[in-house]
Amino acid sequence: AFLARERQSFAERNPASAALAAQASEHLLFGVPLHWMNDWGTPFALHVCQANGAQVTDVDGHTLVDFCLGDTGAMFGHAPAPVAAALVKQAMRGYTTMLATADAAAVGALLAERFGLPFWQFAMSATDANRYIVRWIRAATGRKKLLVFNGCYHGTIEDVFVDLVNGQPVQRDSLLGQVYDLTEHTVVVEFNDLPALDAALQQGDVACVLAEPVMTNIGMVLPEPGFWGEAQALIKKHGALLVMDETHTISTGPGGYARAHGIEADALVLGKPVGGGVPCAVYGMSADLAARAVQAKQDAPPGHSGIGTTLTGNMLAMAAMRATLAEVMAPAAYAHMLSLAERLAGGLRGLIARHSLPWCVTQVGARTEFQFCSAPPRNGSEAEAVLDPELEHLIHLALLNRGVMITPFHNMMLVCPQTTDDDVGQLLRALDEVLSQITLTA
């Protein structure tokens, strides 16, 4: 009954979105840009016309407080002023030349200083950056296998669409159009399982481990104390390399999670937020890996390396990244985000206790989630077992009707430099009301 009421209220609140959804469905396959705000719990897709700071405005004129922030793409707020200014300036001076710019050189230096790896390259998305770094490492090491953790997500790089089912790697059957067997070269183990990691590496031929330092894409899963220290030692012992995908965990602090926790990755991947929300991504390499990559390129016959695309390094992306790194990702912005995220996590714990729910809250950097289990999951299988998409969608829908947007999958809430204490208060009040309704109806 609560769901039906919320769906009806959404439909009454959003007639202009309904009309656009009907129009879009005539010519857009599925009616929306795929992978974007689909009808996750809503009867039709919400259409927006503007996004600034921590707010989005929908086409029916509602202003929503945004804790989804483009699933991290807008980690530093929508249209941050320095990025908007850099884009406007660059927009009058060209976009794509396939020639180098001063901005590109400046971005390389800013990345090296901030993240501690000496060599960097560009990509158009985190997916591409992951694909390229794995390709570089396979070429540099002469090894074929990729090791990932069960339940991971690193974009749509095919290699990672392999799950652990009853201890065996199984290609995810939702992957469309896959014509060769991914399990041949992808090894999967559970997060936080050092003996399994050791055994998998022992099999040999593992070029690299591709991981998030904290799993964030199946609900959050934290590394157990000491996990990364020991994992790094094992990876090194077996001659493999460690790639940290910090696309989401970059919200931990100015140098990302790995740097803050003393994890020495051989390569880093940073996507989405590094250009302030403009399409671009980067990957970085240690000096040793870079030297081996250069050697591999020199040894290869001339021709396309399979790395890089026409728009990679385009002038708009370079200008946006320079502004983001130099002016937006500032220590003060992080300090604000972290203290607000802690307040949000504390408020959520209070709500969960008050409603006597068997749920827990995990917060890493600016990212906070509540999960439908009383103790935090230790690995991908445990995290998957407690996912409840229907409940997630219901909460998302009910919050939208109350002027607040969170991520519609695994209850993720991100704060940005423009999020205020009042915004957090509004979220907590709205969620309190929604939880009262849900527990009453349950």
Residue whose CB is less far from ligand PLP, 14 or 407:
407
Residue 266 touches ligand PLP, criterion: CB under 6 A: no
Give 145: exposed, middle or buried? Use CB within 10 Å, 0-12, 13-18, 19+.
buried
Residue 272 touches ligand PLP, criterion: CB under 6 A: yes
Binding mask 106-125 for ligand PLP (x = CB under 6 A): -------------------x
Q: Footprint of ligand PLP on residues 159-218 (CB under 6 A)?
A: 212, 217
User: How far is the C-alpha of 121 from the C-alpha of 207, rounded, in Å?
Assistant: 20
Q: How far is the CB of 271 from ligand PLP (least distance, A)?
A: 5
Residue nearest to ligand PLP (CB): 155
Residue 248 touches ligand PLP, criterion: CB under 6 A: yes
Residue 245 touches ligand PLP, criterion: CB under 6 A: yes
- The β-bridge partners of 122 are 282
Stretch that binds ligand PLP, among 55-63, 105-113, 193-201, 240-248 (CB under 6 A): 240-248
Q: Which long-range contacts (CB under 8 A, 24 or more apart) does 352-357 make?
A: 354/432, 355/435, 355/436, 355/439, 357/435, 357/439
Name the nearest CA neighbour of 112 among 262, 285, 365, 321.
Answer: 285
Q: Footprint of ligand PLP on residues 58-87 (CB under 6 A)?
A: 71
Q: At what angle do helices 389-400 and 2-13 cross, to 10 degrees?
A: 40
Site residue total, ligand PLP (CB under 6 A): 14
Q: How far is the CB of 126 from ligand PLP (least distance, A)?
A: 3
Name the nearest CA neighbour of 383 among 404, 356, 410, 418.
Answer: 410
Hey, what are 183's tokens? Answer: 């399990």
Which of residues 17, 121, 127, 371 is near ligand PLP by CB under 6 A?
127
Residue 420 in contact with residue 67, Cβ under 8 Å?
Answer: no
Apex CA 77: angle with CA 244 and CA 284, to 5°?
A: 25
Q: Footprint of ligand PLP on residues 283-322 (CB under 6 A)?
A: none
Stretch that binds ligand PLP, among 74-82, 153-161, 232-240, 335-343 (CB under 6 A): 153-161
Q: Which residues bind ligand PLP (CB under 6 A)?
A: 71, 125-127, 153-155, 212, 217, 245, 247-248, 271-272
